[in-house]
Structure 1
Amino acid sequence: MSWILRFIYAAIGLSIVLLGVLISVNNSQLARVDLYWWQAPELPLGSVILIMLLIGAVLGILASSAVVWRTRRQNKYLQKQMKSVQARLDHLG
């Protein structure tokens, strides 16, 4: 079963790489990203798109990991409370 998952992950990874190559090849015009405090050098539009996609993915992972961390912490707290209440109920019964 694990070899099937590895194959699926490899196929997804290869598809993403091929998609990135296609985007880079089909968008060869030069583009520049201008922010208020920084200017990027001119790069092919496909590269700019892929870089921005990567930055967005990393920021999304960071944002969701904060939510997951908070949820796990709350889950541990609630499990601790549940054990305490269960111990009190066992003591009463």
Structure 2
Amino acid sequence: MLKWLKRVVLIILIVFFLAVGVFFAIRNPQLIRLDLVFWQGPELSVALYSILSFSFGACVALLVSSVSYLRSERQVRLLSKRLDKANKELDQLRKASITQELSSGKE
């Protein structure tokens, strides 16, 4: 039931940000030259440089978060293996305890 609401909100947000981007591009048609310390960029519009910098930042954020995600996934796998090993050991101890109780109860 909430899936359609989530999709509608997502579509509205996408349309909103696209509209803001188009409005920004229309309102800022002037060309600028990006001048960094060792590199001088070509003359492009302010909107294009803004879009490029946003895209670059999003890619860097995805890379950084994916490294963190992969680390946590590796940790989850390691802890799952430890849990399985501990459960097997616990089962073996329970079985040994039961057989010991049964053998001492027969005497």
TM-score scaled by length of structure 2: 0.75
Structure 1 stretches lacking a partner, 5+ long = none
The match for 1:50 is 51
AA of the residue aligned to 2:92: H
1:66 aligns with 2:58: no
Unaligned runs of 5+ in 2: 95-107
User: Which runs of 4 or more aligned residues in structure 1 lie more than 6 Å from their structure 2 counterparts after TM superposition?
Assistant: none
Question: Given the two structures, how large is their TM-score scaled by the length of structure 1?
Answer: 0.85
Bigger radius of gyration among the two: 2
Distance, in Å, in 2 between the alignment partners of 1:90 and 1:34 is 68
Deviates more, 1:30-39 or 1:56-65: 30-39
CA RMSD of aligned residues (A): 1.6
Identical-residue share of aligned pairs (%): 31
Measure the CA separation in 2 of the matches of 1:32 and 1:87.
66
Higher strand share: 2
**CA shift for structure 1 position 9:** 1.6
Q: Residue 28 of structure 1: SS of its match in structure 2?
A: coil
